[in-house]
């Protein structure tokens, strides 16, 4: 985005009727994060920025990004703070999406939620799987409840939402404030 790569710039375009406009950023560097978020605000590219720390793809996590980044708590906080600082004085909220963490032995979702809140994120979304699970297995909704109990900002639940009934069950079970529908939206018309 900061380099204004044509493909990336094309991905930032919206149809006139699309509102609100949301862009999701993947990043591993606070300075670049600040530049990208500032660009989104000053050029009115979106109404909302979501920081993606939930991607489980090995090419992303091997570089320390996506679901691997919250394990580096200080860097994670610096990146969230940079995005929030870049949007100060605007109406563009910054939200953060995370996973439980890399694997069952390295859970960071509670710290990530607290850090996101401390650094000024408007909300935190938890995909209730580890990076190791990818998109397989069953989402562990109890960890959404744990994040909800750990922070005061809104918590968005994600994982295994295939029907409207699933969404209602997640809210009832976890107490989350909203539900994020991911990959299953495309496979369930």
The span from the CA of 47 to the CA of 14, in Å, is: 11
Catalytic residue among 55, 101, 168, 176: 55
Instruction: Tell which residue, 77, 92, 82, 79, has the closest CA to residue 43.
Output: 92
Q: What is the DSSP letter of 186?
A: H
Question: Edge-to-edge strands of the sheet including 155-158?
Answer: 22-25, 48-53, 94-99, 123-127, 155-158, 178-180
The span from the CA of 182 to the CA of 189, in Å, is: 13
Q: Which two tokens stand for residue 72?
A: 């580096």
The span from the CA of 149 to the CA of 85, in Å, is: 26
Three-state DSSP class for residue 183: coil
Three-state DSSP class for residue 72: coil
Strands 22-25 and 48-53: parallel
Catalytic residue status for 55: yes
Active site residues: 55
């Amino acid at each position: 985005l900061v380099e204004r790569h044509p493909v990336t710039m094309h991905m930032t375009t919206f149809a006139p009727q699309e509102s609100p406009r949301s862009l999701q950023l993947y990043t591993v560097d606070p300075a670049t994060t600040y530049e990208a978020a500032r660009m989104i605000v000053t050029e009115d590219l979106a109404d909302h920025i979501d920081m993606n720390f939930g991607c489980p793809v090995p090419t992303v996590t091997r570089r320390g990004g996506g679901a691997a980044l919250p394990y580096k708590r200080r860097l994670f906080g610096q990146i969230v703070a940079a995005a929030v600082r870049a949007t100060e004085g605007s109406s563009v909220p910054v939200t953060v999406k995370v996973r439980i963490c890399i694997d069952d032995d390295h859970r960071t979702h509670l710290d990530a939620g607290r850090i996101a809140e401390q650094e000024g994120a408007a909300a935190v979304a938890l995909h209730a799987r580890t990076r190791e699970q990818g998109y397989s297995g069953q989402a562990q909704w109890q960890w959404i409840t744990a994040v909800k109990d750990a922070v005061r900002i809104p918590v968005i639940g994600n994982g295994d939402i295939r029907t409207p009934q699933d969404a209602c069950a997640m809210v009832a079970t976890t107490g989350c404030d909203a539900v994020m529908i991911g990959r299953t939206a495309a496979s369930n018309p």
